[in-house]
Chain A
Amino acid sequence: MSPARTVAIALRQFYLLRGSPARVLPLFAWVTIDILLWGFITRYLSTVTVPGGSFVPALLGAVLLWDFLVRVMHGVTTAFLEDVWSRNFLNIFATPLSLPEYIGGLVLTGAATSAFGLLAMLILATAVFGLHFFAYGLLLIPFLLLLFLFGIALGIVGSGIVLRLGPAAEWFIWPLPALLSPFACVFYPLSTLPRWMQYVSRAIPPSYVFEAMRGIAIGRPAGDAATFGMLLAGSALALLYIVLAGWFFSRVYRHAVRTGLIPRYSAESVS
């Protein structure tokens, strides 16, 4: 595996971002709107409920972490879609670039672009709405890491769906996080859900992060066994999803090479 080739994929995205405000703006715009919207909702809820409530860390913190996951996923898929939009598959897959190098480049791009969004959200949530992220202590790192891994897995799966079904399938993948959000328990405890939904929730890593985060927000010690157990389970699942996502993309790619889809990609064949 050549790191230089992986870096080249990320460098291409940097070239595109540098010359295009239309690509830069979405890195900040939607997360800023989300933080503003939920920041004011949180502020309002704090005035109509009992004093000393935990809305800021529980709600605004949850929005921030969820938006981070979405930005990671979008970072990966957008980097992939650049090749779709510029009809670049033949040029790129006829090079020595291997599939792990290509996916590695998408991941690197997703990490870099989501870091910008995270920074913007942290600054806004802290400066305007008084969110103290250090309240989560060092657990903030595994929270972010776990959501990052799941965002990467979602991004790779989304890219695989577009590769398999054609450019128009782009519209399937943007709503993927929204589809998962009811099960991720971003705003409510897992116990709120009906039993069948709880099974789905337990199968996806974000629900463990948000359960652990809520626990800390209501005063549970950050390093207790329950939190540790949740993070361990979430991490194992996130790693499993990364492996499954890589396997899925690899299968779709092999199918595309077998059927001749790559050189004829714009034909949108789903054969």
Chain B
Amino acid sequence: MTPAPLVLAVTDLRKQYGDTVAVGGVSFSVGPNEIVGLLGPNGAGKTTTINMILGVLAPDAGSVFIDGIDLAAHRSRALERTNFAAVYSPLPGNLTVTQNLHFFGRIYGVKRLATRVEQLLEQFDLQRFRDTKCGVLSSGEQTRVSLAKAVINLPQLLLLDEPTASLDPATARDIRSSIRDFTARGSGGVLWTSHNMYEVEEVCDRVLFLSRGRILLEGDPRRLPAQHGKASLEELFIAVAREPLALETAG
């Protein structure tokens, strides 16, 4: 039996702004039903990497394959199989929840869109906000709408950039549960960035530690701290942020 293709294969991806190397040749993959955490301090290159995978930032070198499709050569086909939610990119506040879902559903070519929108309104507990403009929703409610949009096309690759930032613990737990359901039901994979190490340990199957545009460490978030002599993932994160060179040498 042929193994399912990787939902994301990134090879030697590189982006430089003048003399500053934002991403310095990273390679990694996300498999079917896998949640991979992309971790690192601010300015490590996480969002730059995600922007390149989303096709809104051209890499200087390297390749991105989404579900086996080359993003550079077949942008639309590759992006039909992906979607994203990011805390810094809320949906247009001047459209209602339903209008936003219908608009993006059409852009992503979703079949039986009306039914799919109703499913999402129920799944993300958004029925009572269906005719509310997104701009007047609370940040937690806006995040739920963004996540509903992010899974509207049942993407093979779901990119989540700090999806639970600014959420209360109860809402964040519900969101994590929705994302786990998403990977359990189909064959999609998730690339997830977060600064909440508790969340990463709970949700991610594998983590990549990024610092200064390079991947320093990779492994199981529950075992990685002990492998590097740290008590917790948070301690390991702080070590990566403060002494990346020491860890690179040790790794």
Residues of A within 8 A of B (CB): 2, 4-5, 7-8, 11-12, 15-16, 19-20, 82, 85-98, 254, 257-258, 260, 262-263
Contact = CB atoms under 8 A, between A and B. Distances in A.
A8 B103 contact: yes
10 contacts: A11-B103, A20-B94, A87-B89, A95-B104, A97-B107, A257-B56, A257-B58, A258-B58, A260-B15, A263-B57
B193 to A, nearest CB: 14
B232 interface: no
Interface residues of B, number: 35
A86 B135 CA distance: 10
Contacts, number: 89
Contact of A4 (B75, B86, B99, B106): B106
B103 A15 contact: yes
B92 A86 contact: yes
Contacts of A89: 56
Given A5-B109, A260-B17, A94 B91 contact: no
Contact of B86 (A5, A90, A97, A262): A90
Contact of A96 (B90, B107, B149): B107
B93 interface: yes
A91 B94 CA distance: 14
B76 interface: yes
Interface in B46-101: 47-48, 51, 54-58, 75-77, 79-80, 84, 86, 89-96, 99
B134 to A, nearest CB: 9
Interface of B: 15, 17, 47-48, 51, 54-58, 75-77, 79-80, 84, 86, 89-96, 99, 102-104, 106-109, 133, 149
Contact of A8 (B58, B92, B107): B107
B76 A98 contact: yes
- Listed residue (A15, A82, A87, A95) with the most chain B CB atoms within 10 angstroms of its CB: A95
Given A15-B95, A16-B94, A90-B86, A263 B103 contact: no
